[in-house]
Structures are given as structure tokens and as C-alpha cells.
Amino acid sequence: MTENNTTTGRYAGKKVVIVGGSSGFGLATARELIAGGARVLITGRTRATLDAARAELGERAVAVRGDASVTVDVEALADRVKAEFGTVDALYVSAGINGFAPFEATSEELFDKLLTINARGPYFTVQKLVPLLAEGAGIVLTTSVANVLGIPALSAYAASKAALRSMTRSLARELLPRGVRVNAVTPGPIDSGILEKDLPKEAAEQTKAGMAAENPMGRMGTPEEVAKAALFLAFDATYTTGAELPVDGGGSQI
């Protein structure tokens, strides 16, 4: 990281909040932003992962521990963002969890957990951080191709992401008068390590091989490919709002 990046880089002077930025797509996006001269505030629930990410990203990153689906944590986050940055140029909400269960075996607990973390959390996180967004800021939410496909064992997860897709449109409409755009990045099968969090190693490997075989491009995507799309929506897509951009090897389109 050179000092030069902070004045001449692609994201020089930008202040970005990444909710769920300690691993996966969020961390890949933070790396890209820091390399381009931005200052980044990342969040996550797990202290060790967060500390490791902060150490890797360096002094232009701030790490704040908190659960994006818990109101007091989100309020504390808003206070911290205000203290660190004042205003924010982009908000990327990547925080979310998987949850595999066949429809007939899906418990009320799993359903509520998925809807709470994947839909309610982003909704109120955006609500609490909106007052800090600069004119022209971009919000990027993270849906999934599961919101338009009938994938076995993902019914509650898919519903949570479909809710978020709907919120993307509604928030885009309501925040337009503030000069804020709201879009969603829509990943297909991306090899980020998220599957390994839920499944035993062997089952995760099998699932990944199946996903790659079924994909039109014959492979899974990378977190860096999602980061590029998220940054495009956050900064470059100035005539785009309420949309979602699939990053899925064509899996939901062809």
C-alpha cells in the first residue's frame, strides 16, 4: 500500500462502510477499495476474523464488531461511523448466512433466523445509516440467484433473499429524493468459504463440484468477481437504481 494511493487511486478520498466485511465478498471488496485509496469500515460478529481482516487491510481500515440483525449493535455502528467518517460515500451490506434444509424439515427457528439476518438486518441497517450517506452515495445489498430459482433445500434462504430483492426496489424509490441509489449484487455459486461454515468438509466439496458442473461456465465464481460488480454498482452505475446484477456464470439467465 503506498501513500500515493490515498490521493491518486481510483477510490481516493472515498469513505465506505462494508457490513459483513471480515470475510468473503465483503473482505475482497475492502481490499480493492483500500488498494484504490479509500478508507473502509468493516463489520462482522466474530472478533478473531475481524481482527485478522483489520490487520491485513492496514491503517485505512476500521473494524467494528457487531451483529447487523441486532438493533443496539446497528445503532452503535451508526454512532461509530459518524465519529470515524462523518459522511459515507458507499454502503455495501454483504452480511448474510446460508441455511440448508429440505422444505418439509425446515424448522421455525431456521426460517426466523434466515429472515432476521438476511432480510430484517439489512433493512434496518440501511435505515439507521441513511442519515450519514452523502449526496450521490450508492447502497449495494447482497441477494442471491436463489431468489429467482427453485433450488432444493434453500426455500427459506431463497425467501429471505427475495424479500431483500423487493426491498432493493422500494428503498431505491424512497431514497431517490436524497440522491442515493440502491442496487443489489446477485451472486450465484461463489467459492468464498461460506459453504464450509455450514457443511462438513466432504459435503462442501461435493456441493461445490456439483455447482461447478451445473453452471453454464463450468466453474464457481470468485469473491473478487463479486467485489468488482459491487463496486461498479456503488460508484459507476450512476444511472441505475432498484436493479440487481447477477454474478453467476449465467446460471440464472441462460
> Which residues form the catalytic set?
157
CB of 13 to ligand NAP, least distance (A): 25
Q: Which stretch binds ligand NAP (CB under 6 A): 103-111, 132-140, 171-179, 192-200?
A: 192-200
Per CB under 6 A, 64 contacts ligand NAP = no
In degrees and rounded to multiples of 5, residue 221 shows phi and psi of -90, 175
Total number of residues shown for the chain:
254
Among 17, 115, 117, 180, which residue sits at the site for ligand NAP (rule: CB under 6 A)?
Answer: 117
Query: Which residues are bridge partners to 17 per DSSP?
Result: 41, 91
Burial-class residue 160 by CB neighbours within 10 Å (0-12, 13-18, 19+). Answer: buried
> Is-contact 125 68, C-beta < 8 A?
yes
Q: For residues 189-223, b (16+ Cβ closer than 10 Å) or e, as one string?
A: bbbbebbeeebeeeebeebbeebbeebeeeebbeb
Amino acid at residue number 10: R
Per CB under 6 A, 113 contacts ligand NAP = no
Helix (H) or strand (E) holding 248: none
Which CB, 26 or 37, lies closer to ligand NAP? 26
> Where in 42-61 is the site for ligand NAP (CB under 6 A)?
43-46, 49
Among 12, 35, 76, 97, which residue sits at the site for ligand NAP (rule: CB under 6 A)?
Answer: 97
Q: Which stretch binds ligand NAP (CB under 6 A): 4-12, 39-47, 55-63, 106-114?
A: 39-47
Tell me how far apart the alpha carbons of residues 171 and 150 are, in angstroms, rounded to a whole number. Answer: 26
Per CB under 6 A, 139 contacts ligand NAP = no
Q: Which stretch binds ligand NAP (CB under 6 A): 7-15, 54-62, 187-195, 232-240?
A: 187-195
- Positions in the binding site for ligand NAP (CB under 6 A): 20, 22-26, 43-46, 49, 67-69, 94-97, 117, 121, 142, 144, 187, 189-190, 192-194, 197
